[in-house]
Amino acid sequence: MNRLGIVQVSADRGIAPGSTKGAAQHLRGVAAGLAGRGHCVVTYSARPAEGPFPGTVVPLERLDDLTGGRPTGSLGVGADRTVIYERYSLGHRAGLDLARRLGAPFVLEVNAPLAAEASQHRPGTMGPSDVMIETELIAGADLVIAVSTELADWVSTLRDGPTVVMANGFEPAWFADAATPATPDYPLVFIGHPKPWHGADRLVDLLVALDRRGSRPDLLVVGGGPGADDLRSAARRAGVEAQVTVTGPLPPDEASALLSRAGIGLAPYRRQEPFYFCPLKVIDYLAAGLPVVSTDQGDIPRLVGDAGTIVDPDDEGALVDAVAALLSDPEHRAALGSAGRSRAMATMTWDHVAASTEAAVNGVLR
């Protein structure tokens, strides 16, 4: 096996290594998985670390220090080849330029069609060259790693080289306890920032609809930030405030551990086209041994498989029916949760992601 010296580049100023947001967990998972397989990983980041992070985090502006040749220090010791691995950030091409100067392979990780996303939602953040740079990065990369099938399909319209789909993973040590209680502390759980586009605006209506059927389950929202205050206000207006607990931001290991106290993992996304995400929350639910109720979007049906129920994103009644059915059947919940956890532990950890990444990179090196 080639022992790689991996320059992990994250130029997004919204991502602080070691922070609680999902993008930071992905950054950490990739670094930890590759380091755990014996590779040397140094992360060059636009933001300083805000929490524990595997390996060394170096300010992004020091990326040019590598221009003189083979990286030295901890990155170069014992490494057979250097690889530049960049998380695509809008308008940033320094990783590609560095790879060309070093004669090193350039791997681009694509998590979203950023130019289109920014043009639609944040037009003020777009620069005149951003679309051109996006096209050049995708076309020029030796390997593109996309986190979903829809992203890979889009990427393939812009390049002829290899593109692989690599779904998100999880850290198994954070999920030592499976969620198997017949009477959980929180029958329902939603993990992540409760933003409307994550389906969090459906949670209060779900509780109200279940109450009409004579069921009053407590809901745990593991997270905080954008959307949390709106969720609390909506719950108060609807008279279900006593059923809703919002933790606020937590370190990812603490957030993951809370899932063992829950009964059903919720991912009630509204219809979005295209749906290019790979939801960390769904993978976390599977790892925790929770049955999942989610809407039919993107790769979610394939991820959930035999571990839950998938409903039409436009059918509110189907969402309520699916949750009500699982609330009334603890044995079925346990069976679904066990199936999902077994599959997650066998195929979905960050080590599994790293092994697939390693194989794809070695394919390019050959």
In eight-state DSSP terms, residue 270 is P
For residue range 177-188, list pLDDT tens digits in order: 887 777 999 999
- Quick one: pLDDT at residue 80? 77
Per-residue confidence at 74, pLDDT binned at 50, 70, 90?
very low
- Quick one: pLDDT at residue 41? 96
Tell me the CA distances in angstroms from 317 to 83, 100, 210, 215, one per residue in order.
Answer: 50, 54, 10, 15
CA distance 100 to 67: 10
- In the predicted model, is pLDDT for residue 38 greater than 70? yes
Comparison of pLDDT for 365 and 218, the residue scoring more: 218
Burial state string for 164-179 with b = 16 or more CB within 10 A and e = fewer than 16: bbbbbbbbbebbeebb
- Quick one: pLDDT at residue 69? 52
Least confident of 72-76, 80-84, 173-177, 288-292: 72-76
Per-residue confidence at 319, pLDDT binned at 50, 70, 90?
very high
What tokens appear for 336 in the block?
């679904």
Q: pTM (2 decimals)?
A: 0.93
Q: Domain segments of the chain: what residues?
A: 4-169+349-365, 172-347
- Quick one: pLDDT at residue 196? 84
Omega before 274 cis (within 30°)? yes
Q: Mean pLDDT over all residues of the chain?
A: 93
Superfamily for domain range 4-169+349-365: Glycogen Phosphorylase B; (3.40.50.2000)
- Quick one: pLDDT at residue 68? 61
For residues 88-104, average pLDDT: 95
In percent, the amount of the chain with pLDDT more than 90 equals 83
For residues 255-264, average pLDDT: 95
Per-residue confidence at 278, pLDDT binned at 50, 70, 90?
very high
For residues 5-20, average pLDDT: 95
In percent, the amount of the chain with pLDDT more than 70 equals 96
Least confident of 41-55, 169-183, 293-307, 314-328: 169-183
- Quick one: pLDDT at residue 72? 41
For residues 96-104, average pLDDT: 94
Beta strand segments in the chain, E? 4-10, 40-45, 56-59, 81-87, 106-110, 143-146, 163-165, 186-191, 219-222, 244-246, 262-267, 292-295, 308-311
- Quick one: pLDDT at residue 92? 95
Does 4-169+349-365 match 172-347 in CATH topology? yes
Pairing of strands 143-146, 106-110: parallel
The CATH number that domain 172-347 falls under is 3.40.50.2000
